[in-house]
Homo-oligomer: A and B are copies of this chain.
Amino acid sequence: MADAHSLDALTEALRRLPGVGAKSAARMAFHLMQHDRPGALQLAMALSQAVDQVQHCELCHTFTEQRVCSTCLDPSRDRSQLCVVETPADQAALERTGAYRGLYFVLMGKLSPLDNIGPHDIGLQKLFDRLGGANLPKLESEFPLVQEVILATNFTAEGEATAHVIAQALRETGLQVTRLSRGVPVGSELEYVDLGTIAHALVDRRSTQG
């Protein structure tokens, strides 16, 4: 638009959203201005408030509006287990299963040497501090220490590398370190499962008398 600079600026800002290219951004900006200005104001408010209020839990680094998140403070959770995930979204997926009652530690992403993301960038030192009991806020100092670390990073090349690095680093600590099992997804037919997955499911096969 020749003379709607704030519309251009809005289109530019919308492009910073993941998965939004130039065309989608323009379409979103037009839509908001033409059909949904209340929605635009609501979004502006929500963005400011989230930036203002959402912080990282001091213990597990998930998103929270408190100093320590409600999961970490929940007395009914099993404090001997710590599940390491890449993102708060992964944590949310695990929570939805209802199958895990331990605590979490959320990394700031995954190792990715190609993108210049190393151990420091994803907060590994914070994980080691957490496991060693160092730097625990006073509030938490009487908590029993973690005994098992469950590595639940993604089963991608980067996620596997991240799990490997953490497992190596924890080898001498005496902590039990486990990894989510690989295998054939529930409900799937072998014919349509990729070969790498089937190969892993063969190697990791378990006794049915277990």
A9 beta carbon closer than 8 Å to chain B: yes
The reply to whether A13 and B39 contact each other, CB–CB distance below 8 Å, is: yes
Interface string of A1-39 (1 = CB under 8 A from B): 111111101101110111100001011111111111101
Q: Is A48 close to B, CB under 8 A? A: yes
Contact A19 B27 (CB under 8 A): yes
Number of copies: 2
**A88: contacting residue among B14, B30, B51, B89, CB under 8 A:** B30
Point out the residues of chain B lying under 8 angstroms from A34, CB to CB: 87-88, 108-109
Q: How far is the CA of A6 from the CA of B43 in the complex (A)?
A: 11
A70 interfacial by beta-carbon distance below 8 Å:
yes
Q: Which of B12, B33, B42 contacts A63 (CB 8 A)?
A: B33
Cβ contact within 8 Å between B69 and A2? yes
**Nearest Cβ on chain B to A49's Cβ, whole angstroms:** 5
User: Of all chain B residues, which has the CB nearest A49?
Assistant: B6
Instruction: State whether A89 and B27 are in contact (beta carbons under 8 Å apart), knowing that A6-B49, A47-B40, A65-B3 are contacts in the complex.
Output: yes
* Inter-chain contacts of A35 with B (CB < 8 A): 109
In this complex, the member of A13, A28, A32, A39 whose beta carbon has the largest number of chain B beta carbons within 10 angstroms is: A13
* A36 CB, min distance to chain B CBs, angstroms: 6
> What 1/0 flags go to A105-139 for Cβ under 8 Å of B?
00011000000000000000000000000000000
Does A81 count as interface, using CB distance less than 8 angstroms?
Answer: no
Instruction: Tell me the minimal C-beta distance from A105 to chain B in angstroms.
Output: 15
Given the complex, which residues of B lie within 8 Å of A88, measured CB to CB? 1, 30, 34
Tell me whether A193 is interfacial, beta carbon within 8 Å.
no
Determine whether the beta carbon of A50 is less than 8 Å from that of B10.
Answer: yes
Query: When the two chains form their complex, are residues A40 and B51 in contact, meaning their CB atoms are under 8 A apart?
Result: yes
The 6 closest A-B CB pairs, nearest first, are A44-B47, A16-B39, A13-B46, A13-B43, A10-B50, A10-B46
